Amino acid sequence: MRDGDWLTETGARIRGVLKVMVDADWLPGGAAVIGTGGMWEFVAVGRIDGEHDTAPDVSYDVASLTKVMATWPLVGRAVAEGVLDLNAPMSEYFPGEELPGAWVTTRQILTHTSRLNQVTWLERYVGTDQDLAEAILEDPLEEPGYLYVDRGFILLGLLLERLYGRGLDRLTADLWNRLGMRSTTYGPLPRSPHVAPTERRLVGTAPTWGVVHDEAAALMGGVAGHAGVFSTAIDLGAFAREMLRLSEDGEEGEIPGSFIRESWTPQVDAGNGLSRGLGWLITPEGVVYHNGFTGTSLFMHPESGRYVGVLTNAVHYGRDRTGLVDLRTAARAALIPQARESSS
């Protein structure tokens, strides 16, 4: 199928799924970007709340997309600059060789095989004098195997700050500026029609708006390696386009092409027919992707150079996020070669 036809067809499909979800009051609305090469198309359906329309330039809390839009590329840059070794234990960067997590490596964190505690809650450390990185490394390790956890990326965010002597928000601001992402940032953001609110956590109160939805990231001041980033459909498209370009021919760039290609190569079995690369999930058809709890996703197919990014505040009406699986399935299916061929 020609790129132009694919853009039109995929845009219509995503728009249709979003409209069903909005009409059913499963979510207020959402924005999406569909692109390939130098072409892209935007979809915006519904509102950000009960009053304001959504649009491609509305900022959404991307939740765990923070892992791949902030921490992962900074790790790639640190590896290229020789300040971080994917296979070196954390004991080389943090004190305490006797801690259970001392021998966890960055590679294990990126592949979610670090065995770090699956429980992310950081409330137990509030009011103590214990360094957060030490606290994470001090907890007993889980059984060996694949287990998706946030704590590893929290730790990587803290590690990057120590390696560079700058806050994660400042490190990422410089990175995103160089990638042409003008609206991507850590919060807080002013409450406005240009920012989508997330969840109303207490009846009779305002929803979480312009501040991070993730509780652990909120305890860290809104800036963390696993959550806290706000972005737009426009910037999500710019990020996808640049990652695909760099993966193909960008040995010199903000993130080395070799690191991206390794990240998009299966490293461990993630179950359900999926593999985990460095940070990213990989389907048997070669689609690489990541999801965010608030209702966000980015899917890319390196072989074809096509991508679909979706931003919603699906938690606005509650954490059931009804219909989100259908939306993500439609986005992923649009990139699968067999699906494209059968529909052309």
Per-residue pLDDT of 269-323, as tens digits, reads 999 999 999 999 999 999 999 999 999 999 999 999 999 999 999 999 999 999 9
Instruction: Domain of residue 50: give its range.
Output: 3-72+168-342
Contacts (Cβ under 8 Å, ≥6 apart) of 45: 15, 18, 19, 22, 29, 30, 31, 54
Q: What is the pLDDT of residue 343?
A: 40
Q: How confident is the model at residue 337 (pLDDT cuts 50, 70, 90)?
A: confident
Nearest Cα to Cα of residue 237 among 6, 31, 16: 31
**pLDDT tens digit string along 76-86?**
999 999 999 99
Q: Residue 139 pLDDT more than 60?
A: yes
**Residue 306: beta bridge partners?**
36, 301
Q: Is 180 helix (H, G, I), strand (E, B) or coil?
A: coil
Inside any domain, residue 306: yes
Q: What is the pLDDT of residue 253?
A: 79
Inside any domain, residue 144: no
Is the Cβ–Cβ distance between 279 and 271 less than 8 Å?
no
**pLDDT tens digit string along 108-132?**
999 999 999 999 889 999 999 999 9
Inside any domain, residue 140: no
The CA distance from 219 to 285, in Å, is: 39
Q: How confident is the model at residue 338 (pLDDT cuts 50, 70, 90)?
A: low
How many structural domains compose the chain?
Answer: 1
Q: How confident is the model at residue 341 (pLDDT cuts 50, 70, 90)?
A: very low
Q: What is the pLDDT of residue 339?
A: 47
CATH number of residue 280's parent domain = 3.40.710.10
Q: Residue 233 pLDDT more than 50?
A: yes
Inside any domain, residue 264: yes
Q: What is the pLDDT of residue 2?
A: 92
Inside any domain, residue 274: yes
Is the Cβ–Cβ distance between 35 and 233 less than 8 Å?
no
Q: How confident is the model at residue 344 (pLDDT cuts 50, 70, 90)?
A: very low
Range of lowest pLDDT (76-80, 133-137, 326-330, 339-343): 339-343
Is the Cβ–Cβ distance between 312 and 27 less than 8 Å?
yes
**pLDDT tens digit string along 53-67?**
999 999 999 999 999
Inside any domain, residue 39: yes
Q: Residue 223 pLDDT more than 70?
A: yes
Which letter, b or e, does each residue of 57-84 get, where b requires 16 or more Cβ atoms within 10 Å of its Cβ? ebbbbbbbbbbbbbbbbbbbbbbbeeeb
**pLDDT tens digit string along 245-274?**
999 976 677 899 999 999 999 999 999 999
Total residue count of the chain as it appears in this document: 344
Is the Cβ–Cβ distance between 289 and 69 less than 8 Å?
no
**pLDDT tens digit string along 197-208?**
999 999 899 999
Nearest Cα to Cα of residue 311 among 291, 289, 336: 291
Q: Residue 135 pLDDT more than 60?
A: yes
Residue-averaged pLDDT of the chain: 95
Kindly give the residue spans of alpha helices, DSSP state H, lying in the chain.
Answer: 3-23, 65-66, 72-80, 106-110, 132-138, 151-164, 168-178, 215-219, 233-249, 257-263, 324-333, 337-342
Q: What is the pLDDT of residue 317?
A: 93
Kindly give the residue spans of alpha helices, DSSP state H, lying in 81-167.
Answer: 106-110, 132-138, 151-164
**pLDDT tens digit string along 22-48?**
999 999 999 999 999 999 999 999 999
**Residue 230: beta bridge partners?**
61, 185
Inside any domain, residue 11: yes
